[in-house]
Amino acid sequence: MPAFRFAVTATISTFAAAAAAALFFLIAVPAAAQPAQQVVVQVWSFGFGPRPIRLAAGKPVTLTFANQSGSSHDFTAPGFFQHARILSGAAPGDMVDLRPHETKTITLIPAAGTYQAHCSHFLHKQMGMTDTIIVS
């Protein structure tokens, strides 16, 4: 009887330790290890979509900028890229520059806030190439 009792106690202890480790792993997985939300930002003359762009703060997101136009454009978002933790890709000067029909991808962890975006090319903003990024 004592040997059986030891085996049951050891099995329960092992199970409890494994369950605790699994729970810790689920809770403690860093944001970068979580699967990234996928958002395609369409770029055309003269607009962006979706409008607005809604993202979850602190959760990884892969933004794919797809320029549908035969002209160059950019996606400039002052403060948005600067305050985000960029995991892959780049946005120098808070801007993603796109040649005609080019697609670029950036994966990041956004910071909470509301950010304004626009195309910085001559008169493009005035012609409606604006968007809002809402991170909550």
Using CA atoms, how far apart are residues 28 and 119, in angstroms rounded to an integer?
39
Question: In this structure, is the dihedral angle defined by the CA atoms of residues 42, 123, 131 and 76, taken in order, positive or negative?
Answer: positive
CB 114 within 8 A of CB 132: yes
pLDDT 10s digit of each residue in the chain, 136 long?
A: 555 454 444 444 544 444 444 444 444 445 556 788 999 999 999 999 999 999 999 999 999 999 999 999 999 999 999 999 999 999 999 999 999 999 999 999 999 999 999 999 999 999 999 999 999 9
Would you say 120 and 74 are in contact if contact means Cβ atoms under 8 Å apart? yes
Q: How far apart are CA 63 and CA 35, in angstroms?
A: 13
The reported pLDDT for the residue numbered 25 is 44
Q: Residue 45 and residue 128: Cα distance in Å, rounded?
A: 9
User: What confidence score (pLDDT) does residue 33 get?
Assistant: 62
Predicted local distance difference test score (pLDDT) of residue 3? 54
- Is this prediction's pTM over 0.85? no
**CA 74 to chain CA centroid, nearest Å:** 18
Do you know the residue count of the chain? 136
pLDDT the model gives residue 35? 84
Cα 122 from Cα 98, distance rounded (Å): 15
